[in-house]
Chains A and B, each alone.
Chain A
C-alpha cells in the first residue's frame, strides 16, 4: 500500500495516507487531480473496479468551504487491494466532474448523490431523473442541515401516545429492575 502511495505521491499532490486495514487505505487529493489519478490507478496500477462512490457531509466539522467529501473507492482485483481517493468540495452549489466515461456504473452513484446530497454532476447520463425519492420537495435529505425529525413531524401524522426511550436505560430497566 505504501509503495503505491509513494508512486502516486510522485505524480499527484496526495494528502496523507489513512490506512484502514492492510489492504484498504484512503488518501485525499485536490479536485483537479482526481481524474488523472483515477485514470492512472485504473490503467497503470490495475485498480479496474469502482467499488463505490459516496459522499460524506462534514457540516459539523465547520471547515470553511470544504464540507462535502467524495470518496472514490477502487479495487485491484488481482492483488486484493482497495484504495479510496477522497476529494473535498464546497457545500454550496456543488458540482463535480462526472466519471461515468471511466466506469459506466458511476452514473448510478452520481444520480444518487445528486438526489440525496444535491451534488451536481452535469453530463452524467440521467443524473436529473428521480432515483430513489419520488416527488421530493425539500432540500436533499442526506445533507446534514436537513432536519429529518422536523420533516417527519411536518409531513406525517404521528400516532399520539408514542413514547421514546433510550434503549440502553430502558433495557436495563426491563432486565434488572431497580438496579440503575
Chain B
C-alpha cells in the first residue's frame, strides 16, 4: 500500500486529532450492480439502436495497436460516418478498445478506466495479444487472456489487424448491441468477485478500491 493511502492521524483546525483513512474517506466503496434495461422492450430496442449508432471510444491506447486506430479518423477510413467518435474521458465513453498487448501495469489503468465508464459499456480486444498473449505469450508482464479480467464483447484478430478489420469489428459490435447481446457491464457486475480475483492475482500492488466509481 502506498504511503498516501495509509491511515493517518491529522489534527483539525480546532486542535482535535482524528483518523483519516483514505480508502474509506476518499473513495466510494459501493460494488457495481446489475442494471436492467427499460421495462418496455421497444424502448430498450430504441436505446440499443442509439447505443449502436453512437459508439464513443475512450481515447486510451493501451498498446501498439493504438497506432491502428488513428487512421480511422482520417479521410481514408473515416469512422465518424458510422457514428464512432473518440472521447477523452472514460465518463463519456462507452467503448474501451484494448489495443494490443496489455501489461499488468497497464491492466490496472485499463480496469480503472473501464470501471469509470458508464454502463452499458463495451470492450473490444484488438489483436492476438489480447486473445492469447500473441507474441508475448511467455512474457513475464503481459496478460494472456483479456476476458479473464474484463468482459470482452468482441475480439478482432490479427497482429496487427488493419483499420478495415477494426471497422468490420465495430460493425459486428453494433449488431451485438442492437441485438441486446452486449451486456458486458452486467456480466462484470454479476461475476464481480471472479473478475476481481483474477485481477488481483496478477496485480500484486492493488492500491485502489475494488470498484473505481
A interface, CB within 8 angstroms of B: 130, 132-138, 141, 146, 148-149, 151-153, 155-159, 162, 164
Contact = CB atoms under 8 A, between A and B. Distances in A.
B140 A152 contact: yes
A155 B198 CA distance: 10
B148 interface: yes
Main secondary structure of the interface of A (DSSP, over half): loop
B140 A151 contact: yes
A135 to B, nearest CB: 3
A31 to B, nearest CB: 29
A152 B139 contact: yes
B108 interface: yes
20 contacts: A132-B105, A134-B105, A134-B204, A135-B203, A136-B204, A141-B140, A148-B138, A149-B138, A151-B140, A152-B133, A152-B137, A152-B138, A156-B143, A157-B144, A158-B132, A158-B137, A158-B144, A158-B145, A162-B132, A162-B137
A164 B138 CA distance: 11
Contacts of B145: 156-159
A136 to B, nearest CB: 7
A162 B206 CA distance: 30
Contacts of B141: 133, 141
B53 to A, nearest CB: 33
B137 A146 contact: no
Contacts of A164: 137
A134 B108 contact: yes
A159 B131 contact: yes
Among A132, A152, A164, chain B packs the most CB atoms within 10 A around the CB of A152
B144 A156 contact: yes
B74 interface: no
B132 A156 contact: no
Given A134-B203, A152-B133, 4 more contacts: A134-B204, A134-B205, A151-B140, A156-B145
B131 A156 contact: no
B171 to A, nearest CB: 25
Interface in B57-104: 104
A148 B105 contact: no
A156 B204 contact: no
Interface in B107-155: 108, 131-133, 137-141, 143-145, 148
Contacts of A146: 140
A137 B204 contact: yes
B140 A157 contact: no
B204 A135 contact: yes
Nearest to A137: B204
Contacts of B105: 132-134
Given A132-B105, A159-B132, A162-B132, A148 B204 contact: no
Given A132-B105, A133-B105, A155 B138 contact: no
A155 B138 CA distance: 11
Residue among A137, A146, A156 with max Cβ neighbours from chain B (10 Å): A156
Contacts of A148: 138-140
Contacts of A149: 138
B202 interface: yes
A132 B134 CA distance: 22
